[in-house]
Amino acid sequence: MVKNYSVVNKRTKESLVPANQQGINDAGYYTIVNDGSLKKLSTEGDEIVVSAKHPTTGQTKITTYKISGGCNCHVMRISGPQVITFD
């Protein structure tokens, strides 16, 4: 479990962490955005900044994704890593 997990749309400064479970799917896996965030994202794609801190080492990872939403039926990752791991 990470600490200080955040997902923020750079354009709107709005948090996108899914409220129902704060993005946790399985141990160690986090959802960045889901289809519930469609209206919070532009069709062209927004830069999303993801940040988390390792609870033991204190290492912080910050990664930027480009994700589209808007009037499409699903959010879509345009760019950014598929997996982020702590060193």
Domain range annotation of the chain: 3-79
Q: pLDDT tens across 32-71, in order?
A: 888 888 888 888 889 999 998 999 999 999 999 999 887 7
Q: What is the pLDDT of residue 72?
A: 67
Q: Measured between alpha carbons, how far is 40 from 68 in angstroms, rounded to an integer?
A: 9
Local confidence band at 19 (pLDDT 50, 70, 90 cut-offs): low
The amino acid occupying position 18 is: P
Is residue 9 exposed (0-12), middle (13-18) or buried (19+ Cβ within 10 Å)?
buried
Say if pTM beats, i.e. exceeds, 0.75.
yes
Considering the chain, what is the average pLDDT of its residues? Answer: 84
